[in-house]
Amino acid sequence: MPRQRIIIDTDPGVDDAIAIWLALASPEIDVMGISVVAGNVPLEATVRNACKIVALSGRDVPVFAGAAGPLFRNQVYGKYAHIGAFSDDLVPAATLQPQAEHAVDFLVRTLRQAAQDNDPITVCAIGPMTNLALALVQHPDVARGIRQIVTMSCAFTALGHRVPWAEFNIYADPHAAETVFTAGIPLFIMPLDMTFQALIGNEQTSGLRQRAGKPGKAIEALLQAFDRSDKARFGRDGGPVHDATTVAWLLQPELFRGSAATVGVQVTGKTAGYTYADFYGKLAQPTNATVMQQIDEAGFFALLDRTLSVYGDIEGDAR
């Protein structure tokens, strides 16, 4: 199977880091660039985090700084925004700098070339979708360069976690999400409904520490520093690794079960960011997305361990 060409649009973020390390570890994936947006933390911190993540992978992939805030609504960040960038004890310092080109310009240039080459690219959208929306609004022709959008976002049957009515990536920029949802591009959504089914715990992180080299050690440290567990909510230990499910779907789609739906988002009012999925044609509108509703949790963590172990193999060979 030819390598999948992807762009990762991200707001690192612990789960973003795992998704990025997973993609960069995979021989089946060619990461053409990483476009960064404000979200979990302010833009200067998400850019710093992205550079540290790429540097620790040992891969040569360009990082581009993008939108510092949403299209229209007021800025909101994740619950750890006060932390800022990952400290050096969690993810080692790196000299890697972002490219001078703005992330939106990178997206437009690269997607236009992909359209000309008739070799469209998968966009893995794991943060607020401001960069992607800006590219599509300014230059709608870039849609022809996008094979599919795989996004970690939305909450349909699960309650949101940043606010009860919305998942964070949508809540942070609902107008951007609406632009993406209505662009007519094949859309695959990994909502909280599904990501809450796969909870990473000490068993998985200790295995990654032992087998996945420096990224494995960083993953354990990050998950210990930024506790994502919620036993009251999940009824068991462990926390979700939302964003990594997008890359896992690209690598092993059989781990997931999903259905076609008409997906929409509320962009104004008290519950802006609320998303709905019409699985049963109630709106008599064409479906615009495939929504993943189930994940094979054990298979997902086996994929993570197997794929991320390449970092340990590389470091072992280098010794």
Contact flags string 211-250 toward ligand RIB, x per CB under 6 A: -------------------------------xx-------
Closest approach of ligand RIB to the CB of residue 280, in Å:
25
Closest approach of Ca ion to the CB of residue 282, in Å:
31
Which residues 230-249 are close enough to bind Ca ion by CB under 5 A? Answer: 243
Closest approach of ligand RIB to the CB of residue 10, in Å:
8
Which residues 266-295 are close enough to bind ligand RIB by CB under 6 A? Answer: none
Which is closer to Ca ion, CB of 15 or CB of 114? 15
By a kind-dependent CB cut-off of 5 to 8 A, residue 167 interacts, out of ligand RIB, Ca ion, none, with ligand RIB
User: Is 13 a binder of ligand RIB (CB under 6 A)?
Assistant: yes
Q: Kindly determine how many residues on this chain lie close enough to bind ligand RIB according to the rule CB under 6 A.
A: 15
User: Is 66 a binder of ligand RIB (CB under 6 A)?
Assistant: no
User: Is 127 a binder of Ca ion (CB under 5 A)?
Assistant: yes
Q: Which of 9, 11, 173, 178 binds ligand RIB (CB under 6 A)?
A: 11
Which is closer to Ca ion, CB of 15 or CB of 220? 15
Q: What is the 3-state secondary structure (H, E, C) of the chain?
A: CCCEEEEEEECCCHHHHHHHHHHHHCCCEEEEEEEECCCCCCHHHHHHHHHHHHHHHCCCCCEEECCCCCCCCCCCCCCCHHHCCCCCCCCCCCCCCCCCCCHHHHHHHHHHHHHHCCCCEEEEECCCCHHHHHHHHHCHHHHHHEEEEEEECCCCCCCCCCECCECHHHHHCHHHHHHHHCCCCCEEEECHHHHCCCEECHHHHHHHHHHCHHHHHHHHHHHHHCCCCCHHHHCCCCEECCCHHHHHHHHCHHHEEEEEEEEEECCCCCCCCCEEEECCCCCCCCCCEEEEEEECHHHHHHHHHHHHHHHHHHHHHHC
Between CA 43 and CA 233 the distance in angstroms is 30
- Is 82 designated active site? no
Q: Which of 4, 6, 9, 13 binds Ca ion (CB under 5 A)?
A: 13
Which is closer to ligand RIB, CB of 64 or CB of 171? 171
User: Is 16 a binder of Ca ion (CB under 5 A)?
Assistant: yes
Residues that bind ligand RIB (CB under 6 A): 11, 13, 15-16, 39-40, 78, 126-127, 152, 167-169, 242-243
Catalytic residues: 242
